[in-house]
Amino acid sequence: MPRTASDRVLALDLDGAEYWPAAALGNLTAIEQAIAGHPVDQPGIRLIGVAGLNGLLEAEGAIGGRVARCLGSAARPVRMILFDKSVAANWTLG
């Protein structure tokens, strides 16, 4: 039975994107350590060459593995952006 908009999150075959709620939850400490030292007072920081994230994002990694199962092991991240959406740095897109 096809899923409807009311009972699903984004799906690659229908939306061209996937949404995996809490996919990184088990890796938050590793992610926080990897991005420590990056500015958090800006609305979006492009992350380039952050070694601590490579293991998570490769095809065998905790996050990259999900992508590899959908797109194949040759898939690679093309852009990483750090968004600080904490209460202290709240901002809107507009």
Write the pLDDT tens digit of every residue in 57-88. Answer: 999 998 899 889 888 999 888 888 888 777 76
The pLDDT value recorded for residue 74 is 92
Query: Residue 55, Cα to own-chain centre: how many angstroms?
Result: 14
CA distance readout (Å), 79 to 5, 33, 89, 92:
27, 19, 22, 21
The pLDDT value recorded for residue 66 is 87
> What is the average pLDDT across 6-34?
84
Residue-wise pLDDT for 27-57, tens only, equals 999 999 998 988 877 778 888 888 889 889 9
The pLDDT value recorded for residue 1 is 47
Q: Is the pLDDT confidence value at 90 over 50? A: yes
